[in-house]
Every structure is written in C-alpha cells, then in structure tokens.
Amino acid sequence: MFTEHAHLVPCVGLIGDSLTVLGGGILSWDAIHEFGQRKIVNVAKAEELKNIKKKIKGVVLKDAESVELAYVKRSSLRALLGTIVLGLGFIALLGARLLEIGWL
C-alpha cells in the first residue's frame, strides 16, 4: 500500500498539523483581541479625540467610528492570515494522507 514517497508522510503530516494549530491560534488570538477593541471603542466614545493625531492602519483616529474602523481593518487582516494558514495546514494533511495511500 505504501509508495516510494512513504518517508515523506510523517514530515508532511507534521507540517500540516503545525499549520493547522498555528492557523487556529491566529484565529483565536483575533477573537480574543475583539474584546479589547470593544473596550477601546467605548473609551473613545466617552472622550473626544479632536486633539489626537494618530493613525492606525492608514485610518486617522478622530472619533469613535474611526477607532472602530481601524480595529476592524486590523482584525480582518488577522482573520485572513489565520484562515490562509489553517487552509494550508488542511491541504498539507490531505497531501500526507494521499501520499500514505499512494495517490500521489
């Protein structure tokens, strides 16, 4: 049942497992930081930001809406990265299984 690529199966499987865990970790990190972002937006709503000249991810912070936009933009980039890494992990795991049964 094993092919000449059988020696690659553990390596590809380990890479797939690692990428899957890393992708899940990035997505979890993004979800956890969502709560912190809400606290910052609440503070921004309570205080005026007229005298603050700060940019986050290309968004000038001038009111609560702009603070929320900056954090949503940052969060979407983390979510995209996590999804890509997670997808690569699943592809590597699928490749390991295909090598194992001799389809590659």
Higher pLDDT, 50 or 78: 78
Two tokens at 43?
């503070």
Asked if residues 64 and 45 have their Cβ atoms less than 8 Å apart, the reply is yes
| pLDDT band at residue 52 under the 50/70/90 scheme | low
On the question of pLDDT at 82 being above 70, the answer is: yes
Helix axes 9-46, 64-101, angle to 10 degrees: 170
Question: How many angstroms separate the most distant Cα atoms in the chain?
Answer: 70
Cβ-based neighbour number of residue 36 at 10 Å: 10
Tell me the chain's radius of gyration from C-alpha atoms. Answer: 21
Taking only the tens place, the pLDDT of each residue in 19-37 is 999 999 888 887 777 666 6
Residue 40 has a pLDDT of 61
On the question of pLDDT at 91 being above 90, the answer is: yes
User: Three-state DSSP class for 6?
Assistant: helix
Residue 54 has a pLDDT of 67
Amino acid at position 32, single letter: I
Q: What's the pTM value of the predicted model, to 2 decimals?
A: 0.64
Question: What does the alpha-carbon distance between residue 16 and residue 26 come to, in Å, rounded to a whole number?
Answer: 15
Residue 35 has a pLDDT of 64
Taking only the tens place, the pLDDT of each residue in 39-51 is 665 555 555 555 6
> Angle at CA 79, nearest 5°, toward 89 and 56?
140
